[in-house]
Structures are given as C-alpha cells and as structure tokens.
Amino acid sequence: MLLAAGAPRIFPPIVTTYLIKLACELPDRCGRSLSTWDCGELARALVRDGVTDSISASSVQRILASQKLRPWRVHHWLSPKVPRDDAFRAAVQNICDLYTRRLERHERVLCLDEKTSLQPRPRTAATRPAKPGNRPVLIEHEYTRAGALNLLAAFDTTTGKVTALVRHRKRQAEFIELLEKIHRETPKSITTIHLVCDNARMHRGKLVRAWIEAHPRFRMHFTPVHCSWMNQIEQWFSILTRKRLRAPNFANIAKLSARLVQYVREWNEIAKPFKWTPESFAKVLDHQAAALPSAA
C-alpha cells in the first residue's frame, strides 16, 4: 500500500512494542555505553537488532510521544536514609510551630547556616553597564581565581534582619563566633533564642555543644535530614545569590568581603520576614503520613 506524501509511516505492532520496551530499559543494561536514550540512538538500535529495516528518529519520537515516554529526561531523586517515622513528623511539627505560632516577648527565632566558597572571580576586562538600544550589561567571560570566603549568617524570622560574619574558614570556631555576636546583640530581655540549623557536623560538634550548655537561653532545633528547605536562611541565600552573586566580579577577597557586609547592611534597612504558614509544611507531612504503615 502506498502512503500519501507526508503521511507518517505505519509500523507493525512488534516494532512499537520493542521500541517501548527498549526505551524503558537503561542503555547500559542493553549493552550500549550511553547515559540515556535519544531518538536517534533508539532508531539505530531497532535497525541493528533486526526489528525493522529502517526507521527515522522522528518516527521514534512520534511513537514515544503517543506513550508520553521521554527516556532522555532525567530527574534526580533521593532514596531516604532515615525513616519517615513519628520522630520525623515531630521534628517537622516543631519547626512549623516555631515559624507559625505567635512568639512570646522573651523569644527569638533565628535560622543559621553557611554559604561557602564565595569567589571574587575578577574579570580580565571591566564590566560594562547597560545602554539604551537594548544593550545588556556586558561581563567578560574570562576571570582569574583569587581565593574564596565563607558567609555565616542568621535570619530572624520575626523581623527578617540578618546577622552575618565573613570568614576565610568554616569551622566550629567561626560558628561559635557567630553565636557570640548574636548573644551580644540580643537584649537580655530575650531569654529564649531558638536556633534552627541543619545537621552539619560543625553545628553539632563538641565545642558548639559546650558553648550552648554555657549559654542556657540558646536552644538548638535541627531540621530533618534532607529538609534544608525548612531553614529560612536558605531563602535569603537564594536572594543574595540572585541580587549580588549572580555574576561575581570583585577585585579581590577584601572587596568581596566588603560588598557582602554592605549587602547585609542594606538588606537590614528594608528587611521583612518571610511568610510561612502551616500549609507550607502540609506536603511533606502528607507524604510522610502516606509512607507510614497503616494502623492495624
């Protein structure tokens, strides 16, 4: 039977079935050294395996599209290393409570973390500003390396203000230095300072634990493993990256440090808290609840 010009070629069911089965296998398991399949590779595999005498990449794409199958797409996921049990739920609920309930006058909630390896990356030619006529900011592609810094920061969930330090190293000593700064700058009328941190070793180290024990108004709250999104400082780091670090071009380490300090100061002049509600945590709690075995 002759096909009209431009009409798609109709393949026997065995070709379609074989193609879908092949697309649902990893190439390595089929003897091919590929990360993922694409339409051209699948077409060659069908011909090589003797399934059909010829088939084009566009025909492969059309068949896969009919099955909503795109084996070239990659989505990263994380196999949980900790159980989504009652302890996980309690940790989530605890942080949700800190973010959403009305704090007492003697309480303060701070979210802490570090943004590491911030590089000056001085450019080999000066950056040019935007100009009329639809010309964007021009940034030289080439840059030189000039060391790196670490930004240690704490975000106040009530005011949105940030307390920060810029240091060459990131250890328990620098973390304690940030805690000391918070301690000095927090009025004595605040008798409970809640600290929300991730599970990094430097936040749980012996020196940090000793410091916390010596300063009883500080209380540590750790986000569950792989739930760094619950730490509000991560939202602020995202803003910092977009507004100040998207195209780093600082003459040296000293200039980078000064600009980071200046950005924090300017942020605090207009700071506002992020709005978190119990619904912000609903998805993770619902997912966790679904993973728990049902009661007998």
Tell me how far apart the alpha carbons of residues 214 and 184 are, in angstroms, rounded to a whole number.
Answer: 14
Please report which confidence band the pLDDT of residue 81 belongs to, taking 50, 70 and 90 as the band edges: low
Q: How confident is the model at residue 57 (pLDDT cuts 50, 70, 90)?
A: very high
Q: Phi, psi (5° rounding) for residue 128?
A: -110, 135
Convert the pLDDT of each residue in 244-284 to its tens digit. Answer: 998 888 999 999 999 999 999 999 999 999 998 877 777 66
What pTM did the predictor assign? 0.76
Query: What mean pLDDT comes out for the span 81-108?
Result: 86
Q: Which alpha helices (H) appear in the chain, and where do they start and end?
A: 13-23, 39-48, 57-66, 86-100, 172-185, 201-204, 206-214, 233-244, 253-269, 282-291
Averaged pLDDT for residues 53-69: 94
Of the ranges 81-95, 137-151, 216-230, which one carries the lowest mean pLDDT score? 81-95
Residues whose CB falls within 8 Å of the CB of residue 21, separated by 6 or more in sequence, listed in order: none
pLDDT at 295: 34
Torsion 19-21-24-25 (CA) sign: negative
Model pLDDT, residue 293: 39
**pLDDT confidence of residue 6:** 58
Mean pLDDT, range 34-46, rounded to an integer: 94
Q: Within 13 Å of residue 42, how many CA atoms lie on the same side as its CB?
A: 29
Q: What is the mean pLDDT of the chain?
A: 89
- pLDDT tens digit sequence for 135-192: 888 888 888 888 999 999 999 999 999 999 999 999 999 999 999 999 999 999 999 9
